[in-house]
Structure 1
Amino acid sequence: MLEISPAKVVHIIYQTREGRMAEEELRAFIAGLNEDEQAHLVALAWVGRGAFEPEDFEDAVDTAWAERSTPTEVYLTGMPHLAENLEAGLEAMGVDVTEVEADFLDGDR
């Protein structure tokens, strides 16, 4: 279903919450994803903000591919509430990231 690992999405969520000082690092991380991962990340954010329903996820991915006119890292870092949209998207898609978040936070210590 998702062509991006939940761990990468969690990384982006936490990086987004770091604030503007981490924006360059966040952009570099997103730019380093392959094109499938980028399209799925955009689609996940769209589902999270209600632009697409979870059952229309593949349509969201197709739309992300078709409408890409800006680099994904620029588009997503300019999206208001990116972290919240990604969290809501994961939840809507039924992806439980509890363990991934715990692992991510343990790695920060």
Structure 2
Amino acid sequence: MPDISTNKVVRVIFLAREYGPESSQLHNYISNLNDEEAANLVAIMWVGRDSFEPEDWAEALATATTEATAPTENYLSGIPELPDHLEAGLEALGVDVTDAEDHFRDR
């Protein structure tokens, strides 16, 4: 299971939807994640776009960790479907985002 707070992933989704995947707001937020959180974010996105199955989570995370050659914020900003892939990844992994979504909507 992902080792990044659901709130952080939902924040990335909201920023990508509100400002776009190439926005400075999203770029800055992702650049402040630690290496472990960044790898988890990439692995969630990969599961969401069907590069890995949910049951292959450990492999997705290991691959995200070992293949991190560019800054994560640069890699993810080039993916127009980023918020959709992240949502699909969380859903596939069985992560309930209701509370996190409510938190951001109430702001």
Could you say which TM-score interval applies, normalised by the shorter chain? Answer: over 0.9
SS in 2 for 1:46: helix
Match of 1:26 in 2: 26
Per-residue deviation, 1:52: 0.1
Pairwise mapping of residues 11-90 of structure 1 onto structure 2 (< 5 A)? 11-20=11-20, 23-90=23-90
Q: Kindly indicate whether the alpha-carbon contact (under 8 Å) linking 2:21 and 2:77 is maintained by their aligned counterparts in 1.
A: no
- Give the TM-score taking structure 1 as reference length: 0.93
* Alignment-mate amino acid for residue 15 of structure 1: L
Structure 1, unaligned runs of 5 or more: none
Q: Kindly indicate whether the alpha-carbon contact (under 8 Å) linking 1:15 and 1:22 is maintained by their aligned counterparts in 2.
A: no
Moved >2 Å (runs of 4+): 19-22
SS in 1 for 2:106: helix
Pairwise mapping of residues 98-109 of structure 1 onto structure 2 (< 5 A)? 98-107=98-107
Instruction: Measure, in 2, the Cα distance between the counterparts of 1:64 and 1:101.
Output: 25
| RMSD of aligned alpha carbons | 1.4
Structure 2, unaligned runs of 5 or more: none
Q: Kindly indicate whether the alpha-carbon contact (under 8 Å) linking 1:47 and 1:92 is maintained by their aligned counterparts in 2.
A: yes
- Give the TM-score taking structure 2 as reference length: 0.95
* Alignment-mate amino acid for residue 101 of structure 1: E
Instruction: Measure, in 2, the Cα distance between the counterparts of 1:55 and 1:45.
Output: 14
Q: Kindly indicate whether the alpha-carbon contact (under 8 Å) linking 2:15 and 2:26 is maintained by their aligned counterparts in 1.
A: yes
Per-residue deviation, 1:19: 3.0
